[in-house]
Amino acid sequence: MEPAAIIAPQRARGEGRLVAKAEGGRTRIAELYQEGCAKIRLPKTFDASMEAVLINSSGGVTGGDRLSWEFRAGKGTKLTLTTQACEKVYKAAAGTAEIATRISVAAGAHVDWLPQETILFDRSALSRSLEVDLAADASFLAVEAVLIGRKAMGEEVRAGLFRDNWRIRSGGRLIHAENLALAGDIAALASRRAVLDGAAAFATLVYAAPDCESQLSKLRLALAGHALSGVSHYDVGGRDKIVARVAAADGFALRKILIPLISHLRKDASVPKVWTL
Amino acid sequence: MAEHADTQSLLRLVTWLSPAFPVGSFSYSGGLEQAIHDRLVTGADDLRLWCETLLDHGTTWNDALLLAEGYRACDDAARLIAASELAEALAGSREWHMETMLLGEAFLAAAGHWPHASLEFPGARAAYPVAVGAVAGAHRTGLEAALAAFLNATISNAVSVAIRCGVTGQRDGVGMLARMEKTIGAVATRATRASLDDLGAATIIADIASLRHEILHSRLFRT
């Protein structure tokens, strides 16, 4: 057998695109494109909505990998986007992995962006972007959870790079932006009180829909027992949004807090089936 | 850029960023009151670490970059509007958004005593760091000097909040300002060489503190 060492490191590439349209009262495929390690599966749903499960078939990301996803929800469609597994970001020998996601939501449509957790391993490097364009009367929910290593498995993260930039626009006007940057000695950074105060898991939730005001009190109630969490409702550029943030000791504790929030904002529909505790 | 701002610029920056400038900065804590309530900040040393973290890895760093963008874009209305909209969108809680927008509006109104023909924000609204940057830029105060004055005012306000909340005394508070001089200067210098591409914050617990402050029962500050 040839020694593995002579094989140049493979850089994973993937591009996936899904366009959804409303037809006969249901959400159906208008276009599906997948190339490289980016795969999209569409399990059967039992209502008018569509659920798309994203798969990175390379089994994780490392330095130099490039993935891009594009989703377009046509007028009146209802689309849930999730991932088959947690995205594991492994030690990078060289370079930074890049994942870019673009989502557009047309008039009267709704998209839930609910990927499973991103897990950062020691010396990983990932730069990620989420660009969302909402029509003026479209609605949108995004929840992104990040775990710094997996404590239960004894994995410690010392150094690394993680940048996550979100830009959400409504009718062309920027209504929400996130520029998360964890860089350098992540363990020391995460131990600081203003950063994570030693917590290893955190999540950001953004919800833009006409019913934000009526959802706030229920979300507050759901978060009432969790000291490391908070939620606000406010408007930016004339558009209502809810922003919630949660930190927790580990991924399990974080999921226990997030699942009721997601279920509530999905009008008591459960979280996607792939999200099981 | 001159190493030292000239006397006129120095006077203006000192006035614009003085606690007496009528923007009401004394009524905002940027989530610090909640952090003190949650015992995340219990004394002068904690306060210094909290402020340093925000300066190096948090919202204060982002504000420095937004100020620098306002300064550089002071003659370009479209770029100023984009910077202010970005600052609004980055405000991670209802109170943070209110604080930056109300301070910005009040700052533009008060800075009207130093008129400048080309400086126009639509509806006289702009996020606070962008407003300060734009006014300083229009009057050519020097970017690094404007950044240093702004950051020093931000840290001084945090010290004042901590004194009023009773977690530090006047003497330790002033001592902290002296000890942070180098850090403030270094961050101001770093921000002059950076751009909006360098925006980035890791201060998740500080964001959470700001979100939680809106349901804090007994409070001295609006944020």
B219 part of a folded domain: no
CB A21, CB A77: distance < 8 Å: yes
CB contact under 8 A, A229 and B208: yes
Query: Residue B80 maps to which CATH number?
Result: 1.10.4190.10
In whole angstroms, give the CA distance from residue B192 to residue B195.
8
Asked if the structure places residue B44 within a domain, the reply is: yes
Structural domain span for residue B68: 9-14+24-212
Residue in chain B lying closest to A127 (CA): B200
Q: Hey, where are the domains in chain A?
A: 18-273
Distance in Å, alpha carbon of A236 to nearest chain B alpha carbon: 7
What is the rounded radius of gyration, in angstroms, for the C-alpha atoms of chain A? 19
Which residue of chain B has the CA closest to A243? B93
Interface test with B, best of A196, A233, A242, A245 (most B CBs within 10 A): A245
Q: Which of B86, B92, B209 sits opposite A243 (nearest CB)?
A: B92
Count the residues in chain B: 223
In the predicted structure, residue B215 carries a pLDDT above the cut 50: yes
Q: What are residue A111's DSSP bridge partners?
A: A79, A140
pLDDT of B99 higher than 60 = yes
* Among A260, A267, A200, CA closest to A275: A260
Per-residue pLDDT at B118: 67
Q: What's the rounded Cα separation, in Å, for the pair B71 and B143?
A: 7
Q: What is the pLDDT of residues B26-68, one digit of tens each?
A: 999 999 999 999 999 999 999 999 999 999 999 999 999 999 9
Residues of A in contact with B32 (CB under 8 A): none
Report chain A residues whose CB lies below 8 A from the CB of B94: 232-234
Contact between residue A54 and residue A42 where contact means Cβ atoms under 8 Å apart = no
3-state secondary structure string across chain B: CCCCCCHHHHHHHHHHCCCCCCCCHHHCCCCHHHHHHCCCCCCHHHHHHHHHHHHHHCHHHHHHHHHHHHHHCCCCHHHHHHHHHHHHHHCCCHHHHHHHHHHHHHHHHHHCCCCCCCCCCHHHCCCHHHHHHHHHHHCCCCHHHHHHHHHHHHHHHHHHHHHHCCCCCHHHHHHHHHHHHHHHHHHHHHHHCCCHHHCCECCHHHHHHHHHHCCCCCCCCCC
What's the whole-number average pLDDT of chain B? Answer: 94
What are the tens digits of pLDDT across the range A120-132?
A: 999 999 999 999 9
> At which residue do the structure tokens 């606070």 appear?
B128
Do B211 and A231 make contact, defined as CB atoms within 8 angstroms? yes
- Is pLDDT above 90 for A153? no
Take residue A30 and report the two structure tokens written for it: 């208008």
| Rounded CA separation B167/B165 (Å) | 6
> Residue A164 pLDDT > 80, yes or no?
yes
Model confidence at B139, pLDDT cuts 50, 70, 90, reads very high
**Poorest-pLDDT segment among A26-30, A57-61, A67-71:** A57-61
Cβ–Cβ of A174/B88 closer than 8 Å? yes
Dump pLDDT digits (tens) for B177-189: 999 999 999 999 9
Chain B residue at shortest CA distance from A182: B202
**pLDDT number for residue A6:** 52
Residue B1 has pLDDT above 50, yes or no: no
B→A contacts (Cβ < 8 Å), by residue, are: 35, 38, 40-41, 46, 49-50, 53-54, 57-58, 62, 85-86, 88-95, 97-98, 199-212, 214-215
- Tell me the chain B residues in contact with residue A179 when contact means C-beta distances shorter than 8 Å: 62, 90, 199-201
Amino acid A94: pLDDT: 85
Question: How many CB pairs lie under 8 A apart between chains A and B?
Answer: 111
A196 near B CB under 8 A = yes
Q: What are phi and psi of A106, to 5 degrees?
A: -80, 175
Give the amino acid at A243: V
Residue B3: what pLDDT? 45
- Residue A256, helix vs strand vs coil: helix
The pLDDT score that the predictor gives to residue A45 is 86
Note whether B205 contacts A194, CB cutoff 8 Å. yes
Q: Which residues from B are below 8 Å from A145, CB to CB?
A: none
Task: Indicate whether B138 belongs to any domain.
Answer: yes
Q: What is the pLDDT of residue A22?
A: 97
Q: Is the pTM of this model over 0.90?
A: yes
Average pLDDT over residues A204-225: 96
A193·B49 Cβ contact <8 A: yes
Answer whether A163 touches B (CB < 8 Å).
yes
Cβ–Cβ gap B202/A181 under 8 Å: yes
- pLDDT score of B136 more than 90: yes
Give pLDDT tens digits for A83-123.
999 999 999 888 999 999 999 999 999 999 999 999 999 99
Question: Looking at the 3D structure of chain B, how many domains does it have?
Answer: 1
Contacts of B42 in chain A (CB under 8 A): none
Q: Quick count: other Cβ atoms within 10 Å of Cβ B188?
A: 23
A245:B54 CB<8 A: no
Share of chain A above pLDDT 90, in %: 84
